[in-house]
Structure 1
Amino acid sequence: MEKKAQLVFIPLPFWSHLIPTIELAKLIAKHDHQRLSITVLLMKSPSMDSKLDSYVQSLASTSDAIITFILLPCNYLSAETNHRTTMTTFVESQKPHVKNAVAKLIGDSESDHQIAGFVVDFMCTSMMDVAKELGLPTYVFSTASAGSVSLVFHLQALHDEHNIDFTEFKNDPRAELVLPSFVNPVPSCVLPDIMRNKTAFSLHIDYFRRIREEAKGILVNTFIELESHAVGSFSGSKFPPIYPVGPIVNLATNDENGSDSTVIKWLDDQPPTSVVFLCFGNLGSFIENQVKEIARAIENSGIRFIWSLRQRRSNDGSAALGSYADDSTDVLPEGFLNRTAGMGKVIGWAPQAAILSHLAIGGFVSHCGWNSTLESLWYGVPIATWPLYGEQQVNAFALVRELGLAVEIKLDYYMVAESENDQMVVSAQEIEAGISRVMEKDSDTRMKVKEISENGKKALMDGGSSYTSLDRLIDDIINNKP
C-alpha cells in the first residue's frame, strides 16, 4: 500500500499568520484525506502574547484525525527592539528544533506516511535551509493579498536589476509606480511600510528573492474572481507556480459567539444592516486626539455602532500585544458614553467574525488587514478603509481604486509617526462622511461586495476556481514526492 504524502506546515506564531495557516491545513487535509496528511509545527511566539500562547498550547493538546500538532521547544531570548529583526532571529533560532522534529517523522519506520515537503509562512523562508538539508521541496504560503505579494516581487526585481532604493520614495508623496500588479499606478503614499525602513525592506527583498528562486510553489489566500489581474501578473517563467486557495477565513463559531454574548444579544435587537462596526485589528490603536475625532464622528452620524477600542499606545507605538486596557474609554469625550448609550457599544476585544456575520451589521470601518478584508467580503459587508501598518495601505488602495469594494476614509494613514506631533489626525468630518457612505443601503459598492461574497463561496466548492487550484497543488505534491 502506497504511503500517504505528509506535509509539514510551519506557520509564523502571530494571530494574522497562524489562524489562516491552520485553516489552510484543514482545507488541504479535508480536500484529499485519502492521499494526504498534515503535521503542523508550532512555535511559541516571542511577542509575550499570553492569549496567543494559550491558543498554541491548546492546539498542541488537540487530538485531530487529519492534522497532528507538534509544539517545538522554545529557548529564545533576545534584547532586540525592532520586531522585524526579532522575528528573523527568532525563526533562525527555531531551525534546529524543526530539523529534529522532521527527522523523527522521517525516521519513524512504522509510519504509513512519507514526508512530501514543507509549507512555510513567507516570513519563515529561512526554513528552506532545513528542507534542503532533508531533501524536501518547500511551498510558501502568503497570508497577504495577491496584489501586495506581486507588488513586492516586482519591487524586488527592480531593486536587483536596476539598483533602485525604494525607501527614498517616502520623501516624494507625489511619486507613482506603474507595476504589473495593478491596473492603476500605485502612489508612493500607499506602498508597504517596509519601504519606510531600509532594514525591513532589505529583509523582505531577501525573502522574496529566495522564494522566487527556490520555492516549489506559492499558495496565496485569495481567489481569482477577486484578484484576477494581480494573479495574472504572476504569469511567465519568472515565478514559481501560483495557487490561489482562498478565501480562507476564520468563520464564526458558537464558542466565538459566546465570547461576548452581550454584544451579540445587543445586535439581535437591531434592524438589519443598521450597525457600523469599527475594529482595527490586534495591533491597531490611536493617539488620544484621534480617538476623540472618531467618537465625534460616530456621535454626529447618528448611526448605530460597535466600536472595538484598542489600548492606547505610547508615542513610539509600543504596547503589550494582545491586551486591552481596562481604562481605554477614559480618552473618550466627556459624556460620550452616556449620550450614545442607546445607539451603540464601546468594547475591548471583539469577536470579529461573529459580529461581521450578524445581519445587523451594515458596514465595517477597518484597518484593511487581509484576513479582516476576506472576512468582511465573505459576509457581504462593505468596508470603509483606514489602513494602519504593514501592507494595509496597498490593500486599501486595491479595494477602493482597483476593485470598487470599499469606500475611502484614508488610504495613506500610518499608525506610528516619527513623533506624536507628526501623527496624522483624521478629522471627524472625514470619518463621518466615510461611515455614511459605507452604510448606504443600495450603493454600487454594496452590490459589488454581495456579488464577490457569492463568488468567494463558489470558489471553494467542487469545480470552483480555488477548489481546482487545490487539485493542481495536491497533484504536484503527490507527483513530486522525494
Structure 2
Amino acid sequence: MAMSPSSLPATTTPHVLLIPYPAQGHVNPFLRLAKALHARGFYVTFVHTEHNHGRLLRSRGPGAVAGAAADGLRFETIPDGLPHAELDATQDIWALCEATRRECPAHVRELVERLGRTEGVPPVTCVVADGAMGFAVHVAKEMGLSAYLFFTPSACGFLGYLNFDQLVKRGYVPFKDGSCFTNGYLDTPLDWIAGMISNVRLRDFPTFIRTTDAEDTMLTINIKQCEIDAPAADGILLNTFDDLEGAALEAIRARLPNTFTIGPLGPEVSPSSYLPSLTSSLWKEDDRCVAWLDAQPADGSVVYVNFGSITVVTRGQMVEFARGLAAADSPFLWVVRPDMVRDGGEMLPVPEGFAEEVLGRGLMVGWCDQEAVLGHRATGGFLSHCGWNSTVESLRAGVPMLCWPFFSEQVTNCRYACEEWGVGVEMARDAGRGEVEAAVRELMGDGEKAAAMRRKAAEWKEKAARAVAAGGSSQLDLDRFVDEIARASTSSSS
C-alpha cells in the first residue's frame, strides 16, 4: 500500500520537480503525472522552458497556470539555450536536444536552490526528468536528491533506443553510405534483440539510427541517455501497461530493474475534473469538434486525422490526403496545425474549393481535445502518425488506426500496432490520393480485416482500463513509485 505523503511530518512533505522535454508529446504525460502526484499529497513543481511557457500563455491565457502555487502545484521556467522566438511551433528537435544538454544543467541546479529558499515551499526532494532531459539525473544526484527518468515513448520504442549502442558495436550503424536508405538495407532482420517481436527489421527501430555520421547528434545523445543517464537514475517510469508490452518490459527490466509501468496516464489516473484549468495544450483547441461529432448520425462513422505536434508535410502531400479523404466518403475530422505545412506559404494547404466540396461531412481544425474526439461514439478510426500518446490514447479508446509514421519511434509503434497488437494498417510514406482512399475505405468498412481490428481494439480498451483500475498492474506500480519517493523524502530529511 502506498504511503500517503499527507501522513508524513510537515518537514518531510515530498516535493517533486518534474522536467519534461519541451515538446507537446512529452509535456502531455508529464502534466498527467503531475496531477496524479499532486492528488496523492505531493508538492509538485512543473518546469516549462521559457519558450513553451510563452506558448502556453498565448494559447490558453493566464488562467492556465494562475493560482497553481496555492494548491501546491506550481510552474517554473528555465531557458532552453536557443535564441528567443515567439513562434507557436515546436523548435528544431536536433538543436533543442543539443542546447538543453549544454545549457540546462546549471539552470536546473539554480532552480532547485531557489525553491529551497522560497518561503512556504518545501525543499525539492525528488527530480523526475524526461528521458530526453537525462542530464537532470546527474544534477539531482550531485545535490543529494532522488532522481527518476520518465521515458515518454512506448516500451518497445525505449527498448529500441536501449539497443542503439549494440547496433553501433555490431556494425549496423552508422550506415555505410547513402545507398543504404534505398537499397533494401533497412529490411535487414534483427533476430538477436531480446524482447523485440520476432520479425523486427532495421527500419522498425527509431529513425535516429538512419545516419552515415558516427557523431550524429541524435544518435550520440540517445546512446548517452540509455548508457549513462538511465543507469544513474533511481528508477524508470514508462507510460504503458504490462499486458500490452510484457516481453519488451521484461527485457528493459533485465537492464533497469526498477522500472515502473504507470500507463495509460489518462483520466482514470488523473481525472479531467481534477484541477481542470491546468492544461498542457500548447495550441488553442477548437471547441467545435465535439458538437460536430454529436451531429453525426452513425456511431463509429468518422475517421479522425491527426499527425501530431511535430510532423510537417508538404503542400503536395496535403493535397493528396485531401483528395483521398474526400473520395473515401467517410465523414472526417482533420487536425491541421498552423505550422504543419512546410511549403504552404500564404496559400491554403488544401485544394481550392475543398472546404465547400466536403461541407457537412468534413471538418478541419487547428487543434483539438484528442481524448474527447477519440472517446466520442462517432469516431471509428484514427489516421495517425503513431506517436506514443496518440497510439496509447487510441488503444485506451478502442479505436483502430491507419498508421503513417513520420520519425523517431513512431515506426516502432506502427510495426507493433500492425503486427503485434492487431489494431493497425500501415500506409506507405509516399501514399497518394488513391492509397489514402483505399486505406480509409478498408479501415472504416465492413470487411473481415476491419472487423478483426475493431475486435482487437475493444480488447485492448478493456485491458488498458484494468491496468489503471484499483489492483491493476499500473495502479500498483504507481502506488509503489509514490511509496518509494515518499520514503526517500523521509530519509533525506532525517
Q: What TM-score, normalized to structure 1?
A: 0.84
By how many angstroms is 1:53 displaced? 6.2
| Unpaired stretches in structure 2, ≥5 consecutive residues | 1-7, 86-90
In 2, distance between residues paired with 1:105 and 1:225?
40
2:460 aligned residue: 452
Structure 2 counterparts to residues 265-280 of structure 1, below 5 A: 265-270=291-296, 271-280=298-307
The change in CA–CA distance for 1:358 and 1:75 in structure 2 (over 3 A counts) is closer
**Structure 2 residue 43 is the aligned partner of structure 1 residue 37:** yes
In 1, distance between residues paired with 2:339 and 2:80?
31
What is the RMSD computed on CA atoms of the aligned residues? 3.2
Structure 2 counterparts to residues 235-254 of structure 1, below 5 A: 235-236=253-254, 238-249=255-266
1:292 aligned residue: 319
Structure 2 counterparts to residues 206-225 of structure 1, below 5 A: 206-225=224-243
Deviations 1:408-440 (A, max 9, x none): 223xx3xxxxxxxxxxx3122222222122224
Aligned-pair identity in percent equals 27
2:442 aligned residue: 437
1:119 aligned residue: 128
* Residue of 320, 323, 328 corresponding to 2:348: 328
In 1, distance between residues paired with 2:57 and 2:83?
19
**Structure 2 residue 476 is the aligned partner of structure 1 residue 468:** yes
Judge which range, 226-235 or 50-59, deviates more. Answer: 50-59
Contact 1:44 1:53 in 2 (8 A): no
In 2, distance between residues paired with 1:341 and 1:218?
48
Amino acid in the other structure paired with 1:192: P
2:102 aligned residue: 92
1:9 aligned residue: 18
The change in CA–CA distance for 1:294 and 1:157 in structure 2 (over 3 A counts) is same
**Structure 2 residue 158 is the aligned partner of structure 1 residue 149:** yes
By how many angstroms is 1:406 displaced? 1.4
By how many angstroms is 1:474 displaced? 2.2
**Structure 2 residue 333 is the aligned partner of structure 1 residue 306:** yes
In 1, distance between residues paired with 2:68 and 2:338?
35
Amino acid in the other structure paired with 2:49: M
**Structure 2 residue 139 is the aligned partner of structure 1 residue 140:** no
Across the two proteins, how many residue pairs are aligned to each other?
A: 453
1:363 aligned residue: 381
The change in CA–CA distance for 1:73 and 1:305 in structure 2 (over 3 A counts) is closer
Deviations 1:143-170 (A, max 9, x none): 110110011112224535x465244564
**Structure 2 residue 68 is the aligned partner of structure 1 residue 68:** no
In 1, distance between residues paired with 2:72 and 2:392?
24
In 1, distance between residues paired with 2:369 and 2:303?
15
* Residue of 430, 433, 436 corresponding to 1:428: 433
Contact 2:57 2:64 in 1 (8 A): no
Kindly report structure 1 stretches of 4+ aligned residues shifted beyond 6 Å: 250-258
Deviations 1:121-142 (A, max 9, x none): 1111111232122112210001
**Structure 2 residue 173 is the aligned partner of structure 1 residue 165:** yes
The change in CA–CA distance for 1:287 and 1:214 in structure 2 (over 3 A counts) is same
By how many angstroms is 1:74 displaced? 3.3
In 1, distance between residues paired with 2:196 and 2:80?
43
Structure 2 counterparts to residues 200-211 of structure 1, below 5 A: 200-211=218-229
1:403 aligned residue: 421
Contact 2:49 2:80 in 1 (8 A): no
By how many angstroms is 1:364 displaced? 0.7
Contact 2:301 2:379 in 1 (8 A): yes
By how many angstroms is 1:353 displaced? 2.3
Contact 1:284 1:388 in 2 (8 A): yes
RCO (CA 8 Å, sep 6+): is it higher in 1 or 2? 2
In 1, distance between residues paired with 2:92 and 2:292?
41
1:103 aligned residue: 113
1:388 aligned residue: 406
Contact 2:314 2:343 in 1 (8 A): no
| Unpaired stretches in structure 1, ≥5 consecutive residues | 320-324, 414-424
By how many angstroms is 1:407 displaced? 2.0
Q: What TM-score, normalized to structure 2?
A: 0.82
Q: Secondary structure of the equivalent of 1:173?
A: helix
Contact 2:38 2:44 in 1 (8 A): yes
